[in-house]
Chain A
Amino acid sequence: MVKFIIFYEGAKMNLSKILKNAFLVIIFGLIVTACATKKSVKTTTETSSTTTKAADTKAAETQKADPIEKLDALMQGDVYIGSDTVGELASGVPDRVFFATNETILTTASRETLRKQAAWLRQNSDVTVVVEGHADERGTREYNLALGERRANAAKDYLMTYGVSSDRIKVLSYGKERPVDSGSNPLSWSKNRRSVTVKAN
């Protein structure tokens, strides 16, 4: 059995030589898509004892499964969990949280991020913020404006729960108008489904 595990941190590609050409093609495809995220790729192969033969028969299957495995490292369900595009509201305080398709529910990780934002905002009581809500490009423009507003308010409500007063938080929906990633694929879309907390003063 052959399996690709892809890490998105530094390092060069390290490729087992026992792979056949068919696999090289698949990996090349992976590199190309991974490069689109502007991260270098490390590809390692875990091979069991009966390598090449099984590899041949599994080629087609693997081809289908690979993109999903790749996304597993960066998406949970279809919520983005990577760090690409994530900026900082303040040192050590991420500025954004991500959402599942058509959803406004805050994930555990999102709530953690927002608690950090709330803590920082409580300490810096002169700061006001705008929470910008965004949607991916796979929806109609008007619905996405509403969805972005809903997402921004989900984040705002959570910040308020943790002690930030509502008059310090404005919401602004951009719908699908301001993607951060211009790709047309599930990973790009996951980065674009977001709410971003931006300092307003």
Chain B
Amino acid sequence: MKNKLLLIVIFYFFLKPGISYSLVEIDITRGNLDPLPISVSPFFSDEISKEKIKKNLEIDNLGLEISKVIENNLRKTGLFDTLDKESFLQKPDIAHLKPRFEDWALIKSQVLVTGKVSSKIINNKDYIKIEFKLWDVLGAKMVDGFSLTTVPTNWRRVGHKISDKIYERLTGESGYFDTRIIYVAEEGPKTQRVKKLAIMDQDGFNTKYLTLGNELVLTPRFNPTNQMVTYLSYFRNMPRVYLLNIETGKQEVVGDFPGMTFAPRFSPDGKKIIMSLAKDGNSEIWVRNLETNIQEKLTDHPSIDTSPSYSPDGKYITFNSDRSGYQQIYVMRSDGSKVKRISFGKGIYGTPVWSPRGDLIAFTKLHKGKFFIGVMRTDGTGERLLTENFYQEAPSWSPNGRIIIFYRETKTDDKGQGFSAKLWSIDLTGYNERLVKTETDASDPSWSSLLGN
């Protein structure tokens, strides 16, 4: 009965190299009504490795911590029910060699994750080697697994890579765990907010601040092909679009424009930046090629044209314009031709962002004093509002197009107190709305692509 809702499809499984067959599969096209029960056994280590890792990282049981990273990732998708480790009957080391499937079936686990962490020395340097296996409990088979070796400090990323593998294997879609989120960290009273660029792992760990807060910074966005970021800085009170290499910390202004440049976003190939230039009371959309340094104006209209975003194939740009009198969403070819309005619902529409899958555009809508985050097809049909609040905007897609992250601000009380800005995420289905925890208040999130190796 319970499986009927979730649609766990069972196929016969043949293990052949390079070909993947799924035994357990999750249908994620609908809201999660019945999450898949999964057990993540603590990864085990031999005593020598344990000692060595403890010395390196000051973590007593790294295998347990890695299993918690995985559990946390999977649980937050809303698609998995991660079972309590207290209920596990089999020891981690034995389970990793050959699980007693009956023991895992007994606690109603359908999937089991096991693993092993060992220390290694390569060229006199300490490394850790992590093995992981994914088991189908009902099919009584191992369905996936890998091992990788890395520097000890990379251990959380290993947890994310394993999570991605599990997610891909069980949903058929690519994962989004080994990713980062760049955002604007905010502090101080509403009238004098101090804003810094900050970056963190997708699960909220490893927060780093990239600017000091001396100048106002806004709207950071990742290059989809590397670890470059474009954002707006008020450096020397000249609001301009900047480019930042988050590995070297090097920053440079983008182009030489005679006015404020803002609302930057990379092209899908990472070689161009589209943005708005505001001059003499008029904002137009421009594109600058970072390789040739050629910049070109794409719109030509006395209205405000801003918030441009490329389609994933780079052929189209969606943006918002108030040329009809109010902010609405438009689509044009990436050379600026064939401008077409696509939003016709009640209210005003802003911040269109093209889904990485290409079929949807996420947006912010203001209607009757409420702010909505929604999605529509690229021709404007099929509008679906996912969440409603006092104030929220700036949707950004997870790299697999599954989740939208945005920020939400609270209404202040009669004395103007109680303001806060936080990141939130919601599934494309409109389910699984979650607060994304950050060290400080936060806004303007942008999700990176999957990190490489």
Q: Is the CB of B263 within 8 A of A137?
A: no
* Smallest CB separation, A187 vs chain B (Å): 11
Q: Closest CB of chain A to B283's CB: distance in Å?
A: 4
* Bound-complex Cα distance A147 to B190 (A): 20
Distance between Cα atoms of A97 and B219 in the complex (Å): 28
For chain B, residues 166 to 221, give those with C-beta under 8 angstroms from any C-beta of chain A: 189-193, 216, 218-219
**Is residue B14 within 8 Å, beta carbon to beta carbon, of the partner chain?**
no
Contact of A141 among B190, B281, B304, B394 (CB under 8 A): B394
State the Cβ distance, A167 to closest chain B Cβ, in Å. Answer: 13
Complex formed: what's the CA distance from A154 to B281 in Å? 7
Q: Give the contacting residue for B412; candidates A143, A153, A184; CB below 8 A.
A: A184
Residues of B close to A3: CB separation below 8 A? none
Q: Known contacts being A36-B415, A137-B391, A140-B307, is A153 close to B239, with CB within 8 Å?
A: no
B382 lies within 8 A of chain A by Cβ: no
Q: CA of A124 to CA of B304 in the docked complex: distance in angstroms?
A: 34
Q: Across the interface, do A139 and B278 meet the contact criterion of CB distance under 8 Å?
A: no
Which residue of the partner chain B has the closest CB to A104?
B281
Bound complex: CA A33 to CA B414 (Å): 6
Q: Which residue of A lies closest to B308 (CB)?
A: A142
Nearest chain B CB to A75 CB, angstrom units: 17
Most chain B beta-carbon contacts within 10 A, residue among A102, A139, A145, A150 = A145
- Among A36, A130, A138, A179, which residue has its beta carbon within 8 angstroms of that of B391? A138
Asked whether, in the complex, the Cβ of A182 is within 8 Å of the Cβ of B414, the reply is no
Closest to A180 in B: B191
Q: Shortest distance in angstroms between A6's beta carbon and chain B's nearest beta carbon?
A: 16
A149-B281 contact given A141-B394, A182-B416, A184-B390, CB 8 Å threshold: yes
A181 at the A/B interface (Cβ < 8 Å)?
A: yes
CB neighbours of A178 from chain B (8 A)? 191-192
Count residues of A near B (Cβ-Cβ below 8 Å).
35
Q: How far is it, in angstroms, between the C-alpha of A137 and the C-alpha of B218 when the chains are bound?
A: 15
In the complex, the answer to whether B350 meets A140 with C-beta atoms within 8 Å is yes
- B409 contacts chain A at the CB level, 8 A cutoff: yes
Contact A177 B216 (CB under 8 A): yes
| Residue interface bits B416-442, CB-to-A below 8 A is 1, else 0 | 110100000000000000000000000
Q: Are B281 and A145 in contact (CB under 8 A)?
A: no
CA separation between A29 and B170, bound complex, in Å?
56
B280–A182 contact, CB under 8 A? Answer: no
Q: Are B306 and A143 in contact (CB under 8 A)?
A: yes
Query: Are A149 and B364 touching (Cβ within 8 A)?
Result: no
Are A141 and B218 in contact (CB-based, < 8 A)? yes
Say if the beta carbon of B262 comes within 8 Å of chain A.
Answer: yes
Q: How far is the CB of A9 from chain B (nearest CB, A)?
A: 21
A143/B320 in contact, CB under 8 A: yes
Q: Are A173 and B419 in contact (CB under 8 A)?
A: no
> Complex formed: what's the CA distance from A180 to B444 in Å?
22
Residues of B324-338 whose CB lies within 8 A of A = 326-327
Fill in one digit per residue for A134-167: 1 if any B CB lies within 8 Å of its CB, else 0. Answer: 0001111111011101101110010000000000
Whether the pair B390, A145 counts as a contact (CB closer than 8 A) is: no
Q: Tell me if A172 and B237 are in contact (CB < 8 A).
A: yes
Residue of A nearest to B327 (CB): A143
A40 interface hit (Cβ, 8 Å):
no
**Contacts between chains A and B (CB distance < 8 A), count:** 110
Kindly provide the distance from the CB of A86 to the nearest chain B CB, expressed in whole angstroms.
Answer: 16
Residues on the B chain within 8 Å of A146, using CB: 262, 276, 278, 283, 304, 306
A25 at the interface (CB under 8 A from B): no
CB–CB A139/B193 < 8 A: no
Q: B416 and A188: CB pair below 8 A?
A: yes
Tell me which residues across on chain A come within 8 A of B340, comparing CB atoms.
none
Rounded to whole angstroms, the CA-CA distance of A99 and B114 in the bound complex is: 63
Q: List the A side residues contacting B189 at CB < 8 Å.
A: 182
The answer to whether the Cβ of A68 comes within 8 Å of any Cβ in the partner chain is no
A6 to B109, CA, bound (A): 67
Distance between Cα atoms of A77 and B395 in the complex (Å):
32
Expressed in whole angstroms, the Cα–Cα distance for A36 and B351 within the complex equals 32
Chain A residues contacting B412 (CB-CB under 8 Å) are 182-184
B444, A145: Cβ atoms under 8 Å? no
A5 at interface (Cβ–Cβ under 8 A)?
Answer: no
Q: Is B260 in contact with chain A by the CB < 8 A criterion?
A: yes
Known: A147-B304, A153-B281, A178-B191. A141 touches B411 (CB 8 A): no
> Would you call B307 and A143 a contact (CB within 8 A)?
yes
Residue among A141, A147, A177, A184 with the highest chain B CB neighbour number at 10 A: A141
Query: Is A32's beta carbon under 8 Å from chain B?
Result: yes
Residue B71 at the chain A interface, CB threshold 8 Å:
no
Which B residues are CB-close (under 8 A) to A182?
A: 189-191, 412, 416-417, 419
Residues of chain B within 8 A (CB-CB) of A183 are 412, 414, 416
Q: Are B191 and A143 in contact (CB under 8 A)?
A: no
Name the residue of chain B whose CB is nearest to the CB of A36. Answer: B414
- Is A142 within 8 A of B306, CB to CB? yes
Q: Does B366 belong to the interface (CB within 8 Å)? A: yes
- Give the distance to chain A from B421, nearest Cβ to Cβ, in Å: 11
The smallest beta-carbon distance between A199 and chain B, in angstroms, is: 14
Q: How far is the CB of A201 from chain B (nearest CB, A)?
A: 13
Which residue of chain B lies nearest to A151 when distances are taken between CB atoms in the complex? B281
With known contacts A32-B414, A182-B412, A184-B411, A141–B278 Cβ distance under 8 A: no
Residues of A25-44 contacting chain B, CB below 8 A: 32-33, 35-36
Chain B residues near A173 (CB-CB < 8 A): 239, 260, 278
In order of increasing CB-CB distance, the 3 nearest A-B pairs are: A153-B281, A182-B416, A140-B350
Q: List 13 A-B contacts (CB under 8 A).
A: A36-B414, A36-B416, A139-B327, A140-B350, A141-B444, A145-B239, A146-B276, A157-B281, A179-B191, A180-B191, A181-B191, A183-B412, A184-B412
